[in-house]
Amino acid sequence: MTHRLTDLAAGLPASVPFVGPEAQERARGAPFAARLGANESPFGPSPRAIAAIEAAAAEAWMYGDPECHDLRHALAAHHAVPPEAIVTGEGIDGLLGFLVRLLVAPGDAVVTSAGAYPTFNYHVAGFGGVIHAVPYDGDHEDPDALAARAAEVDAKLVYLANPDNPMGSHHDAGRIARMLDALPDGTLLCLDEAYADLAPAAAIPPLDPSDGRVIRMRTFSKAHGLAGLRVGYAIGHPELIRAFEKVRNHFGLGRVAQAGALGALSDPDWLLEVQARVAQSRDRLAAIATANGLTPLPSATNFVTMDCGRDGAFARRVMAGLIERGIFVRMPGVAPLDRCIRVSCGTQADMDAFGAALPPALDAANS
């Protein structure tokens, strides 16, 4: 072997934070009847977004604007913040990697919740940071415990998702404000708001890019239905946003993706339609869960987490039974959250398929 990995890379396990549904379909030798595990939006993108994508397809021979000028300025107008406070990237996942690269050196302390979004941990490990995880408080991430641990370990970075994945819970804006006040000097809060478009208004603090204690992450992958294009953005203090120019992939966001996101942003009526469909689907999922003896947790997202009432081993059997019957779902990976399965919202046909598959999956898990 002639390649020489760094000591850090050589010591890391080869891992994939999420096994994709495509890999699972290949393994099982059949497609899924309902794709309800990745929190995508089967309601699709806005018709305006689709038209913009189709128009841009003929220009796909050109690189996208490396400054994402039009998209950043449209987002700035949408959120009433300066364009200098916004950076775009390849979904929140890509932006998390850039943020960790900017802030976390080998040995630096980073705080998150045990069971929270694993891709963040993946990036921290990849740059040699040390994760300090605090438990959830019931079905919620614990802002007070996160801030306290940050002070104990002198953390450079704290990660909190609000609304939360994988539990679907949320905190109100006042709780987030109190957490910020409790953070020690020199600690940045990464506030992952992937589900902000689907959350109650009271859950989302006002945007204030002059506050250097927090960076806010948003995406077009959920309510806007553009998961396949990988368009995310962050809102933060302009000084921090400028620092992304040191490390980001300047050609990472292609021309078609930028056009699709601009089209989606121009269609607020479609967003309202999707929000209504998600609410209906959440209600249907909750009813299916209850009818089958599971407990649906309150959700501020486009999925419903269902407490299976027993331990992680039982929930894994339920998930396996659903996958065997053609229903792609996921579940939290850390106890005690792993007593649950997580089911994305979907179309009427998706709900019917899930409702038909859950009873035999539960029977198989019980037997």
Q: Give the start-to-end residue ranges of the domains of the chain.
A: 19-44+269-366, 47-266
- Which regions of the chain are under pLDDT 50? none
pLDDT at 1: 61
Give the pLDDT confidence of 73-105 residue by residue, as tens digits.
999 999 999 999 999 999 999 999 999 999 999
pLDDT at 306: 98
- Single out the residue of 326, 242, 280 nearest to residue 31, CA to CA: 326
pLDDT at 346: 97
Beta bridge mates, 305: 342
Residues 6+ apart with CB under 8 A from 140: 164, 167, 169, 170, 171
Percent of the chain with pLDDT over 90: 96
pTM for the model: 0.95
Do 313 and 365 touch, CB atoms closer than 8 A?
no
Q: Is 160 helix (H, G, I), strand (E, B) or coil?
A: strand
- Please give the distance of CA 301 from its chain centroid, rounded to a whole number: 10
Whole-angstrom distance, CA of residue 97 vs CA of residue 202: 29
Q: What is the CATH number of domain 19-44+269-366?
A: 3.90.1150.10
Q: Would you tell me which CATH number, out of the four given (3.90.190.20, 3.40.1390.30, 3.40.640.10, 3.90.1150.10), belongs to the domain 47-266?
A: 3.40.640.10
Q: Is 245 helix (H, G, I), strand (E, B) or coil?
A: helix
Do 318 and 308 touch, CB atoms closer than 8 A?
yes
